[in-house]
Amino acid sequence: MKGYLKNQEGIFQLAPKVTTVGKEGCDLVIPTHGVDYQHAVIEFSQQEDCFVLQDLNTAQGTYVNDCRVQNAAVRLAPGDIIRFGFGGLPYELDVENSSQVCINN
């Protein structure tokens, strides 16, 4: 299954297994104040057939649909709005060939 994070700046394709989010050295680099060097991880769970986001205990947190996720993992569904750090640009999750929609925790 292919996943994408979309925002006004463009489209980022998620890695097939694990995508790291943060500053220098991450797959998705967000050079914004409030984003940690290693901020979050998004991975595809074959068992649950959906993407799972994990915040890496960041000071500014990660937000899914305006709900703060801190040092926890949540299942993502197509159309979810994700923000890394407070005030960062929002990303929308788009998923190709999704056979089911996961329910957020």
CATH code of the domain covering residue 70: 2.60.200.20
For residue range 77-86, list pLDDT tens digits in order: 999 999 999 7
For residue 102, tell me if it sits in a domain. no
Domain that holds residue 87: 2-96
For residue 46, tell me if it sits in a domain. yes
For residue 104, tell me if it sits in a domain. no
Whole-structure pTM over 0.85, yes or no? yes
For residue range 15-64, list pLDDT tens digits in order: 999 999 999 899 999 988 899 999 999 999 999 999 999 999 999 999 99
Cβ neighbours of 89 (radius 10 Å)? 12
Number of domains in the chain: 1
The Cα 103–Cα 28 span in angstroms is 25
pLDDT at 103 over 80: no
The Cα 44–Cα 2 span in angstroms is 9
For residue 15, tell me if it sits in a domain. yes
For residue 55, tell me if it sits in a domain. yes
